[in-house]
Amino acid sequence: MQEEVVFRGLPTLQAQVAKRDLGKERNRVALIDLLVQLLDDHVRPVAPLLHDAGEGVLILDEEAVAGTSITGLLLSLLAQETPTLDVPDDGAWAQAAFGEVDIDIADPERAHRTYRVWQARRALAVVAYVLDRLSAVEDLDNVGHANAETERIAAQMTLDLPDRALRALARFVSRRGPAPMVTRLLESSTTSPRVQRALATYC
């Protein structure tokens, strides 16, 4: 996904991510810290709204959660008015935020859930972008550090993530991970079938 689309309405986050020299270990670690924070703060808390209990079918459909029609144009306007990935204080706050761009969600609880799902989708786009940037880094000086970075990202592949996130993480691990690490993840009895399927897609 193009940078301007990923970071629409998020200029501060864009500056934090897009311009870093990833040849430097400290910058890669900072991006991995950000990736983990995005997953923990915005994706995992609404995981039940992002996939079902069976096959992990990704919903990410604000309209289905809100119970009303929401156009892409209105969400784009909302993005311009929301320059951070924040968590709504409560349903009334979320209702007011949607109301600023003429999105009317009558039930405060639905408004709160819808806002969280929308922010989760924005966060997932940034996560995928960060992973693509990290996977493009070549000629890393310290193989041990590089493998530790990959292990940390692999550790994020858990059941409480939607398939889109699992696929992005698996793609990175399959590109950057040494063969023994990938094989261990594929064959381990502690690796969930969903994670194994995601890895197998790219191996």
Please classify residue 179 by burial: count the beta carbons closer than 10 Å to its beta carbon, then call 0-12 exposed, 13-18 middle and 19+ buried: exposed
pLDDT value of residue 63 = 66
pLDDT value of residue 144 = 84
Mapped onto helix, strand or coil, the DSSP state of residue 78 is helix
Rounded to 5°, the CA angle 5-11-13 comes to 90
pLDDT value of residue 156 = 92
Q: Helices then strands (H, E): number in the chain?
A: 12, 0
0.75 cut: is pTM over it? yes
pLDDT value of residue 174 = 87
Return the number of other C-beta atoms located less than 10 Å from residue 153's C-beta. 23
pLDDT value of residue 59 = 42
Average pLDDT per block of 10 residues along the chain, 203 residues long:
80 86 90 95 85 42 72 86 87 92 90 90 91 85 84 86 87 84 83 86 80
pLDDT value of residue 55 = 40
Domain range summary for the chain, segments of one domain joined by +:
3-145
pLDDT value of residue 61 = 58
Query: Which residues 6+ apart lie within 8 Å of 81 measured at CB?
Result: 9, 97, 100, 101
